Amino acid sequence: MQEPDINSLLESTLKPGVMGHRALGRLLRLIDDNHPCADEIDEAVKSTAFKAPRIGLTGPPGSGKSCLIASALEILAETEGKIGVLAVDPTSPYTGGALLGDRVRLKGPTAENVFFRSLASRGSVGGVSTAIWPASRLLDWWGAGLILIETVGSGQLGTVVGDVADIVVAVLTPETGDGIQSMKAGVMELADCFIVNKSDRQGSEIMMKELRIVKEEAETVGRAVEVFSTCAVKDEGIREAIDGLNSLWNRLQKSGEIAKRRLEQAKREVAKRTEAELHKRVIRNLGGAEDYEKALNKWGKMILDGEATASEAARDLLN
């Protein structure tokens, strides 16, 4: 199979219309599949990295994250700037790719300045694909002025999105669950913005009151938190949320907070890459995946028989 011409594809991404989108889509597919040339792509685009704001949306299934993004895109696409959307989907057990298609989520045809791509979670904890980091850098190269990242709903609000996004938005609904207090230990302490979607439903006002208390508590410790109410299916409150997030971004950037967060993002990616590389080296040193599986079986049986510990096994495999 002929190896892809990365430089040619990168140049093609800058072409207007369908040609540019196709080239960008192909490059993102290579990154998502962890193709051997994925590192070559990252090397080529590294000089333009971290230009666009990255807004991460998390929240439980059914909160309307996709619908919210679709409504926001109708407003954002009116601008001349490019917008990239990365939606992390559950991994298909059959193809290994994203289970949902990007077109399923959108209300209508995508504007020319909007690029929407589904990425497979591939079992990543927290609903965030490790491909998000290089994929975001590629969108920076493409010229995106804004990158939206939607995470997989996992039943609980994930905090891992903070490792890849500059601003974290928690999308909730009046039926979210056991109330705000039960969620404080997780994303409630991480989110920069709370959006109560489906605000036409009973209980939305109560949730808004609870979130305003959270906002006041956050402000006492110097955290800037915004709270908005929307109804995405009716396009209500969307523009106000967009304006509020834009204002929040400007404040965080001016204070230097965005720079601090991006350093933490880069450190987290390096740590993840190091762990993955170490895992590959262990498999390679043992002679391949089959021998690695045999070693795991051996140690697993020894642990069950009380003859070894997991720490002992890990040290042996690493050595």
Q: Which stretches in the chain have pLDDT values below 50?
A: 92-104, 126, 155-157
Q: How is residue 243 written in tokens?
A: 């304006």
What does DSSP assign to residue 174? T
Q: How is residue 116 written in tokens?
A: 């929407």
Q: Determine the pLDDT at residue 180.
A: 58
Q: What is the pTM of this model?
A: 0.87
Q: Determine the pLDDT at residue 283.
A: 95
d(CA 238, CA 226): 14
Q: At what angle do helices 17-32 and 132-142 cross, to 10 degrees?
A: 160
Q: At what angle do helices 6-13 and 132-142 cross, to 10 degrees?
A: 60
Q: Decide if 314 contacts 283 (C-beta within 8 A).
A: no
Q: Determine the pLDDT at residue 94.
A: 41
Q: Determine the pLDDT at residue 263.
A: 96
Q: Determine the pLDDT at residue 262.
A: 96
Kind and range of the H or E run holding 257 = helix 257-286
Beta bridge partners of 225: none
Question: Torsion angle, CA of 141/142/146/151, rounded to 10 degrees?
Answer: -90
For the chain, which domains are there? 48-255 (3.40.50.300), 265-318 (no CATH)
Q: Which among 251, 180, 186, 169 is positioned nearest to 210, based on CA atoms?
A: 180
